[in-house]
């Protein structure tokens, strides 16, 4: 079973769940998740001989939540990964990220390849820096109602998501995410309107899992996590010195075969242009966006096969 403790990283208290001994593997969750989203990976990876660590990243769960939105840039998030590696007494790590955790993993591998044995991204591929600020690119390609732009509004998405936390997580996590959905949030509607709350949760998600999410976000709120999105343009400016840089550590990409959200605005085929040592792009059949929860055995097998190559 995983154990829990708190580490001091870059002046913040970062909560981690950890299990096993051996080479360090960091599992980075996305939005709106916590370390609990890796509950099906901890034991199998630990049993395979790895020290598996899943943090609540800054702004989430039991970790600290700086108030200022500019404390959630990609450089802060990468800095937390670097700090975690050091605080855990390791010289290097394999990093795996899902959803928004994937850009953190990809960027860490790009900026600090000396620390990264290998990098795996799930549900979000690495992307080249755009020629214009991201919010401008989003408007150009997807229109003013694209949900990333909805997340830019202060307080509005927070009010939507906290109105009824149980409904929020039953809808976001338990709704059928294997069917095509819109990425548009028109004026007068909300992000949750893109999904339908199920009467009965899917077999890979329990009411106890919903309890964990409700408890976690009752404590943390949503602002910290949404501030990750609110730094898109700031990140674009900060990463200007790495324009054209590539990811050099061995890399793997996994995506659910029915993950229509990620496929709506990303191109997995372009990964090879960005990752110079790409070991594979793996589609997990019939899985949606929460692939590591829906098809844990397939994800664990793919990750361990990749780890063995490193």
On whether the CB atoms of residues 127 and 266 are closer than 8 A, the answer is yes
> What is the set of active-site residues?
99, 289
């Amino acid at each position: 079973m995983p154990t829990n403790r708190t580490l001091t990283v870059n002046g913040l208290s970062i909560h981690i769940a950890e299990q096993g001994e051996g080479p360090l593997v960091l599992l980075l969750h996305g939005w709106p998740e916590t370390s609990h989203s890796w509950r099906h990976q901890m034991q199998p990876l630990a049993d395979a001989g790895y020290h598996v660590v899943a943090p609540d990243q800054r702004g989430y769960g039991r970790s600290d939540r700086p108030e200022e939105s500019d404390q959630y840039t990609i450089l802060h998030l990468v800095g937390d990964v670097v700090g975690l590696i050091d605080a855990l007494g390791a010289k290097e790590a394999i990093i795996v990220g899902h959803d928004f955790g994937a850009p953190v993993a990809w960027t860490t591998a790009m900026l600090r390849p000396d620390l990264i044995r290998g990098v795996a991204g799930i549900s979000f591929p690495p992307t080249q820096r755009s020629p214009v600020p991201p919010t401008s690119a989003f408007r150009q390609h997807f229109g003013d109602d694209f949900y990333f732009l909805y997340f830019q509004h202060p307080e509005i998405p927070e009010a939507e998501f906290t109105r009824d936390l149980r409904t929020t997580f039953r809808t976001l996590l338990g709704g059928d995410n294997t069917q095509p959905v819109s990425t548009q949030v028109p004026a007068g509607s909300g992000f949750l309107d893109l999904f339908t709350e199920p009467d009965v949760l899917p077999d890979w998600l329990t009411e106890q899992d919903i309890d964990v999410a409700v408890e976690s976000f009752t404590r943390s709120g949503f602002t910290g996590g949404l501030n990750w999105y609110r730094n898109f343009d700031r990140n674009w400016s900060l990463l200007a010195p790495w324009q054209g840089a590539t990811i050099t550590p061995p890399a793997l990409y996994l995506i659910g075969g029915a993950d229509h959200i990620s496929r709506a605005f990303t191109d997995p085929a372009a990964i090879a242009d960005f990752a110079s040592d790409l070991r594979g792009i793996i589609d997990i059949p019939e899985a949606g966006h929460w692939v590591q929860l829906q098809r844990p055995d397939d994800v664990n097998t793919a990750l361990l096969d990749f780890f063995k190559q490193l």
